[in-house]
């Protein structure tokens, strides 16, 4: 494994954490808690590592800007991308809070990351925050479970269709004015490692989908050409994810 840290972290000014993504309540509490402090931020260029599998300098983070992939490297050197992290999402949490990282966090695009210090301590003074974290964890679980179901039984076509719709839906939660063309910093090999395919097969399948007028990827953008066809392919897989709507966190009572 020849992964190297491409770039070191930079510090930024006070952090007005955005209240969107998986953890608006969490970021709200944090920004209140730290409004008088300088909350540490990290700016990383694209294709650099926030942390590597095995690293000990453990922290928790909220992604403020950019895209991040969480992945695990297996013994034979192959990479499995576990999930994508979009602005507002939480990352870095693991059972052994101070143990070595069990995954690698790589930026896909220029990113700004907010460091969450002493998560456990904050949870003790803010009991409601801990339960929010449980909620966030459950949402991440649903996403991962849905990828599992998708990869497990789906053809390359279906896997890619699912990925496209899943990312589209998650971005839609962050920007209701989103068109059918979304930013897409993954290269074909990233898609392959996310979906359990080879980049060659991803390439062929993408070509076919584009030729059929369903979906196209070019210049770091993904464009949904035929939403209905995509939804017919994998829509039902997405249903469990709808229970992770941000509105549900902000107003959990309103079923």
Partner DNA sequence: CGTAAAGTTGAATTCTTTCAAACACGGTGG
Partner DNA sequence: CCACCGTGTTTGAAAGAATTCAACTTTACG
**Binding positions for DNA, rule: CB under 7 A:** 47, 155-157, 187-189, 196-201, 203-207, 219
Instruction: Kindly state whether residue 1 participates in binding a copy of itself, applying the rule CB under 8 A.
Output: no
Q: Is the dihedral of CA 48, 50, 51, 56 positive or negative?
A: positive
What does the DSSP 8-state code read for residue 95? S
Q: How far apart are CA 199 and CA 160, in angstroms?
A: 12
Choose which of 10, 16, 45, 137 interacts with a copy of itself (CB under 8 A): 137
Helix, strand, coil shares of the chain as percentages rounded to 5?
40, 20, 40
Burial grade of 22 (CB within 10 A; 0-12, 13-18, 19 or more): buried
Least distance CB 118 / DNA (angstroms): 36
Which one of 75, 177, 179, 219 is in contact with a copy of itself (CB under 8 A)? 75
In terms of Cα–Cα distance, which of 109, 197, 209, 208 is closest to 164? 209
Specify the stretch interacting with a copy of itself by CB under 8 A; choose among 151-159, 169-177, 180-188, 221-229.
151-159
Q: Which does 55 bind (CB under 5 to 8 A by kind): a copy of itself, DNA, none?
A: none
- Compute how many other C-beta atoms are within 10 angstroms of the C-beta atom of residue 83: 18
| Helix (H) / strand (E) containing 84 | strand 79-85
Among 8, 13, 127, 251, binds a copy of itself (CB under 8 A): 127
Choose the stretch contacting a copy of itself; rule: CB under 8 A; options: 38-46, 61-69, 120-128, 220-228. 120-128
Q: Which residues, including other chains, have CB under 8 Å from residue 106's CB and lie 6 or more apart?
A: 47, 48, 49, 50, 68, 69, 71
The 10 Å Cβ neighbour count of residue 36 is 8
CA distances from 81 to 31, 42, 106, 192, 203 (A): 30, 22, 10, 9, 18
Among 131, 213, 228, 250, binds a copy of itself (CB under 8 A): 131
Least distance CB 143 / DNA (angstroms): 21
Identity of the residue, 14 or 243, whose beta carbon is nearer to a copy of itself in the bound complex: 243
The option from DNA, a copy of itself, none interacting with 204 (CB < 5 to 8 A, set by class) reads DNA
Examine residue 250 and tell whether it contacts a copy of itself (CB under 8 A).
no
Which range in 37-45, 97-105, 160-168, 202-210 contacts a copy of itself by CB under 8 A?
Answer: 97-105
CB of 214 to DNA, least distance (A): 15
């Amino acid at each position: 494994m020849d992964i190297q840290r491409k770039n070191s972290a930079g510090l930024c000014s006070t952090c007005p954490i955005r209240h969107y993504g998986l953890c608006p309540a969490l970021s709200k509490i944090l920004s209140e808690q730290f409004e008088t402090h300088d909350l540490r931020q990290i700016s990383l260029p694209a294709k650099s590592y926030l942390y590597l599998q095995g690293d000990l300098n453990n922290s928790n983070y909220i992604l403020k800007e950019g895209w991040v992939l969480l992945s695990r490297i297996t013994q034979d050197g192959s990479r499995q991308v576990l999930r994508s992290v979009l602005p507002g999402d939480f990352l870095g949490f693991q059972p052994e809070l101070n143990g070595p990282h069990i995954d690698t966090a790589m930026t896909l695009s220029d990113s700004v990351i907010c460091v969450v210090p002493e998560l456990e301590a904050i949870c003790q003074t803010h009991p409601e925050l801990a339960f929010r974290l449980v909620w966030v964890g459950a949402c991440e679980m649903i996403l991962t479970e849905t990828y599992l179901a998708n990869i497990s039984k789906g053809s390359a076509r279906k896997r890619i269709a699912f990925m496209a719709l899943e990312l589209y839906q998650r971005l839609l939660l962050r920007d209701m004015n989103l068109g059918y063309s979304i930013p897409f910093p993954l290269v074909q090999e990233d898609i392959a490692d996310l979906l359990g395919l080879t980049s060659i097969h991803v390439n062929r399948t993408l070509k076919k989908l584009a030729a059929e007028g369903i979906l196209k990827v070019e210049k770091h953008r993904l464009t949904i050409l035929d939403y209905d066809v995509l939804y017919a392919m994998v829509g039902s897989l997405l249903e469990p994810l709808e229970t992770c709507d941000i509105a549900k966190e902000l107003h959990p009572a309103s079923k």
